[in-house]
Structure 1
């Protein structure tokens, strides 16, 4: 095995190469905008130059005069479609062409359609507009911001997690800490641009679009177009990066579909990189306040976490990280609150580890600061406050390996060599800092369906409308089917990303592996039960009369407990079948009874934490070394170590990839990423890959991933916790803590850039 494909330990699957690897590296994998379509026309969006005001006029005449232009949709042309509905299936309720009011910069004002992309681009450039512009409100601290409570104004937060008398406990604590933390607006920037291709055949519509939620897309666009969802097909066989941005639909989809119907041509609209910053969602900026009290032995007695989150004027999206941070440690008394700050920006949305990445940054930095106040090692401070019951309702954790993760990562990192005094470690001009932080992510699972077929020759087909967003779900679902049906992964054919297949939940919240694999497991068990029942009743075979529940299927052979066996082909012959197909509906505990029906309607039903008997989270510990040049103040991260416990690991290769990618993104979150906003006009300044900073190869040195074996039978039938988002939680705090250790300067606002360290010497 290699570092990228670790040797499996207990409850860990083999590092099988991705089943679609060859297709991807040879360019044979078709992404949404690659699908061949006859007689294709091209659409280009026209977007606003202001962030707040009214559109007085839109001049389309010059654009219409460009040779090859087929038509233009703008204000007054979309009466046939309804505005979108804000929710999981659509990131905003704004129908941009339904009214001339401008709510945010880069709002869609028109769609130009032409025979060629070049003609559409030229025509879009020639569209001009006159505005009645108003002064916009750009950021959390700007005049004109409207602040409302999340509780009572959002479906997600019905109550703020709280227990005990925080004010009294904080006042009585001998050691206290309080500080403000800030995280910036960030954009997903997947390599695959956002796109929509709409094709009509009579009254039936086919949409090719990169999506993390094809059934949700189908339902949402059908409502907008006022048509039966059964007449809409959405295909998304591969997604070239989404990170949450391709989970909810944007208003673009229905506009392109309407244009295709009006102009009688299939239309493809690929959004530019710059327009992707304003016509899709992003990570909301936050301002947070943490208060913590502890006794002199290091036991936390009071904890408060309050957040203020950026949002649009038109919707109430909430990040809501307090739901996780208030359950992290054994705090004693707890208080929390979230406020939504409504500004002249488009609605934010889900971005990898949506609540945890910003909120855990504040908590884990505060933990480091409190440990220093107490004169304790940061790891020991967390050990003192470790708990096997979450503090709000006292539920036991189904499993919690926080400290085993710390022990493993600390040993691999060499934490014991750290001199705890700030600015005490140096190598020439380079100041050396070491920091750590906890990673946490809730174990989500959702209702799901799948169809599995086993043939007599051992071939297997798995069909489920889940989404290959790069995590390797095709591979792990194939592994589950191969393992349960006693065949090789190479004999498994899997179909995903199509609303003609049985529905699966949105690929978000790290639920896909747990949900899909649990469903495939169920279907495989149904197949085996049917086969075994038929075989034991068939005359003239070695398994006749055996108890069906004592039979197993391994390596293409049906086995009995006493050693009797029958090759799979002979078992099918005895059963009088050539194949067995089973459809399974997985409805996990703590989801509504009608969750599968809702799934067919495009609504994902995740297990509700309040209805679970236990608290369910995946955990990790991350250690980072930073080096800061005392002369230039540049920051480098030469090495990072993360140890994680996430239940059953289906494939150590794909899991390693996800966790390593998460750690690298954590470095990006800490040191690089920020969408800069011009305060004067509420417009994004750095909306391209040249100015939106992300780490490159030169920024990443040693990244070590440790996967601890963990068995958790409570979380779901597959025993999977999910780890796609776990790896990038806490990394930004670990880096901030390491920066302090190196320099003695606390940076509580991300990203950490050299201008914040100018006092270093």
Structure 2
């Protein structure tokens, strides 16, 4: 064991190396744009240069004259195709080639197809467009935006949480905080660019595209193309960076499929990084107002969280993180309200910890401000307001180890050495600040199916239409099967990322490990039952041991009385060479239509604050030290410590990796990332990795991840609470609190830059 592979504690699995690690580091893992397709034609997007208006004419003659150009798909060529549908599967309802309306900058206006990538790109750049221009609304303060309540606009955000009489409680509070916070637009910049490769074999359509939801895409693409879903196959074996960006399907997929049918050969479109800013989803820009009232003893009596979120004109994408912030602490009375601000922008979407990251940033900043107003240690303030039950519905938490997380993280971080007085800690020319914040993410699980095949020689094959997006689900699914069937992990193969496999929910919301492993467990148990019956039945190797408790280990059936039978002997008794079982898992509380929805590409989530019996969340505590140069105001983060409790940890190696990655991303959110918007023209300005800033190796020093043991029998059969989204929820707030502790400057608007600290 080592730091990268922590020794398992109670209720934790072994830190097995990723079963696809060698493939990835040797370049053998097949990513979508690398997968073979013979006689490929290449496609390039042409996109709008205005954010609002209409296309009057497209001039395509110069583009068609480029040598090697095969075809151009443009306005009107999608008339026989259904428009995209906005929802969990579809990124937006905007059908860019269905009509001439321009809804946002960077909207697709044509797709050029050619014998070479260079010819396709040249043709796309030669397309000339006549526009009827209108003045766009870029963001919150722009004229012409439309504001509406968010509650009820999304199944993920049904209502604004509230309880008690906030106004009276706040008016009578002895100590008050009333502040505003904001987070900017942030764009996905995965190393693997967005791409689509499509081809037809008769009426059969195959698509290679990086996806977090192959089953959902199969159904949605078939709907748009008006064909039988059985004739569509989406293949995405590996994904090189997703975190929400490859969850909902964009309009590009159907356009490329149409292009492939028109030219009668495979067509591959790899979107440029610059064009991805306008054709993919992104993190919505948010604003917040937090009001907290408390007594001088530190007990909160009133809490209000108002949020405003930018979305596109046609689509009501809701972030809705007030559901989590309303249930974080023992508030007394709660009032929340979320508003959507419709502007002339492309539709936002999921980005790692979608609701919690911006909303918890505001809450945890305000909690630190209240602790300062009370003259109280920030950890003690949170301890005083630790709830026995969640404050909205009074339901118990299925498990809540937040204070354990704070205790362990604070000890490892050395919080006791922190001097409370602002600006009192220095190291030469550097001001030193320490901050902390809570991380929270709802524990959810969804219906899932899996197929298990076990052969007489102990080989196991796991098949599930989930997705390896880098989180290690392929490995933990293999570990689950190996442990349950008593074989070594190196004898397990796992197939994922193909809509021809048993359906799985979208790989997002930290549900994959819980959902997939629960289905794998169910299929493995069906295999075990057949083996056990044959083992103790008439003619079996352990005949007459019907009352013995049986298990599987070391490729044997093992009885609790010490007797055992080789797996191969049991198969001989059964006179078969393999057992294959297909299992469908539906979590407790699922609707009667849950499995039907699964096959229809819809993910029915259960957990979080939606269940009747209890509220299910994973928690963490994050601590950050910042150093700020007293002359230049450069900000450095030399060390971070995070402690996280998330039920059963299936693999300590992959868990640590995910949480560490989330914390590093949190530094980027705090100090680097922001999509700059030209407010006059509603256009994104910094559309490349030269100007869109992200952390690099030199920015990251010491990152310590502590896995806190926790057992939760209520969440799902696997006991997994999910942690993929958890790691970056509190980091930015901890950084902001540390910056205040070092400088006395409270920066409430992300990102925190040098210019904010110089004034």
TM-score (norm 1): 0.99
Q: What pairs with 1:417-496 in structure 2 (closer than 5 Å)?
A: 417-496=417-496
Q: Which residue does the alignment assign to 1:125?
A: 125
C-alpha deviations, 1:181-237, integer Å up to 9, x for none?
000000111110000000100011000000000011101111110111110000000
Moved more, 633-642 or 599-608: 599-608
- Is the 8 Å Cα contact of residues 532 and 548 (structure 1) preserved in structure 2? no
CA shift for structure 1 position 579: 1.4
Q: Which residue does the alignment assign to 1:274?
A: 274
What is the rounded CA distance, in whole Å, between the counterparts of 1:498 and 1:153 in structure 2?
Answer: 31
Q: Which residue does the alignment assign to 1:233?
A: 233
Q: What pairs with 1:94-105 in structure 2 (closer than 5 Å)?
A: 94-105=94-105
C-alpha deviations, 1:445-490, integer Å up to 9, x for none?
0000000011111110000000000001110000000000000000
- Is the 8 Å Cα contact of residues 548 and 559 (structure 2) preserved in structure 1? no
C-alpha deviations, 1:736-758, integer Å up to 9, x for none?
00000000000000000010001
C-alpha deviations, 1:313-340, integer Å up to 9, x for none?
0100000001100000111000101000
Q: Which residue does the alignment assign to 2:530?
A: 530
Q: What pairs with 1:686-701 in structure 2 (closer than 5 Å)?
A: 686-701=686-701
What is the rounded CA distance, in whole Å, between the counterparts of 1:377 and 1:674 in structure 2?
Answer: 31
Q: Which residue does the alignment assign to 2:560?
A: 561
What is the rounded CA distance, in whole Å, between the counterparts of 2:338 and 2:548 in structure 1?
Answer: 52
What is the rounded CA distance, in whole Å, between the counterparts of 2:630 and 2:342 in structure 1?
Answer: 41
Q: Which residue does the alignment assign to 2:549?
A: 550
What is the rounded CA distance, in whole Å, between the counterparts of 1:617 and 1:247 in structure 2?
Answer: 22
Cα RMSD after superposing both structures: 0.9
Q: Which residue does the alignment assign to 2:367?
A: 367
What is the rounded CA distance, in whole Å, between the counterparts of 1:649 and 1:711 in structure 2?
Answer: 10
CA shift for structure 1 position 540: 5.7
The count of corresponding residues between Structure 1 and Structure 2 is 758
- Is the 8 Å Cα contact of residues 437 and 733 (structure 2) preserved in structure 1? yes
Q: Using a 3 Å threshold, how does the CA distance of structure 1 residues 286 and 233 change in structure 2: closer, same or farther? A: same
What is the rounded CA distance, in whole Å, between the counterparts of 1:122 and 1:645 in structure 2?
Answer: 52
CA shift for structure 1 position 614: 0.8
C-alpha deviations, 1:5-44, integer Å up to 9, x for none?
1011111111111000000000000100001111110010
Q: Which residue does the alignment assign to 1:679?
A: 679
- Is the 8 Å Cα contact of residues 45 and 112 (structure 1) preserved in structure 2? yes
Q: Which residue does the alignment assign to 1:34?
A: 34
Q: Which residue does the alignment assign to 2:324?
A: 324
- Is the 8 Å Cα contact of residues 533 and 548 (structure 1) preserved in structure 2? no
Q: What pairs with 1:570-609 in structure 2 (closer than 5 Å)?
A: 570-607=569-606, 609=609
Q: What pairs with 1:19-418 in structure 2 (closer than 5 Å)?
A: 19-418=19-418
Q: Which residue does the alignment assign to 1:758?
A: 758
Q: Using a 3 Å threshold, how does the CA distance of structure 1 residues 60 and 674 change in structure 2: closer, same or farther? A: same
What is the rounded CA distance, in whole Å, between the counterparts of 1:610 and 1:696 in structure 2?
Answer: 39
- Is the 8 Å Cα contact of residues 538 and 575 (structure 1) preserved in structure 2? no
What is the rounded CA distance, in whole Å, between the counterparts of 2:572 and 2:387 in structure 1?
Answer: 56
CA shift for structure 1 position 577: 2.4
Q: Using a 3 Å threshold, how does the CA distance of structure 1 residues 499 and 56 change in structure 2: closer, same or farther? A: same
CA shift for structure 1 position 387: 1.5
C-alpha deviations, 1:620-643, integer Å up to 9, x for none?
000000001111111000000000
CA shift for structure 1 position 612: 3.4
CA shift for structure 1 position 545: 2.2
CA shift for structure 1 position 152: 3.8
What is the rounded CA distance, in whole Å, between the counterparts of 2:401 and 2:9 in structure 1?
Answer: 16
Q: Which residue does the alignment assign to 2:622?
A: 622
- Segments of 5+ residues of structure 1 without an aligned counterpart are none
CA shift for structure 1 position 156: 3.0
Q: Using a 3 Å threshold, how does the CA distance of structure 1 residues 113 and 504 change in structure 2: closer, same or farther? A: same
CA shift for structure 1 position 548: 6.6
1:451 match: secondary structure:
strand
2:659 match: secondary structure:
helix
1:627 match: secondary structure:
strand
- Is the 8 Å Cα contact of residues 447 and 588 (structure 1) preserved in structure 2? yes
CA shift for structure 1 position 154: 3.2
- Is the 8 Å Cα contact of residues 587 and 593 (structure 1) preserved in structure 2? no
Q: Using a 3 Å threshold, how does the CA distance of structure 1 residues 421 and 64 change in structure 2: closer, same or farther? A: same
What is the rounded CA distance, in whole Å, between the counterparts of 1:208 and 1:189 in structure 2?
Answer: 20
What is the rounded CA distance, in whole Å, between the counterparts of 1:6 and 1:282 in structure 2?
Answer: 34
What is the rounded CA distance, in whole Å, between the counterparts of 1:108 and 1:606 in structure 2?
Answer: 32
What is the rounded CA distance, in whole Å, between the counterparts of 1:575 and 1:549 in structure 2?
Answer: 20
What is the rounded CA distance, in whole Å, between the counterparts of 2:187 and 2:631 in structure 1?
Answer: 32
C-alpha deviations, 1:629-686, integer Å up to 9, x for none?
1111110000000000011111111001000000000000000000000011000000
- Is the 8 Å Cα contact of residues 465 and 501 (structure 1) preserved in structure 2? yes
2:124 match: secondary structure:
helix
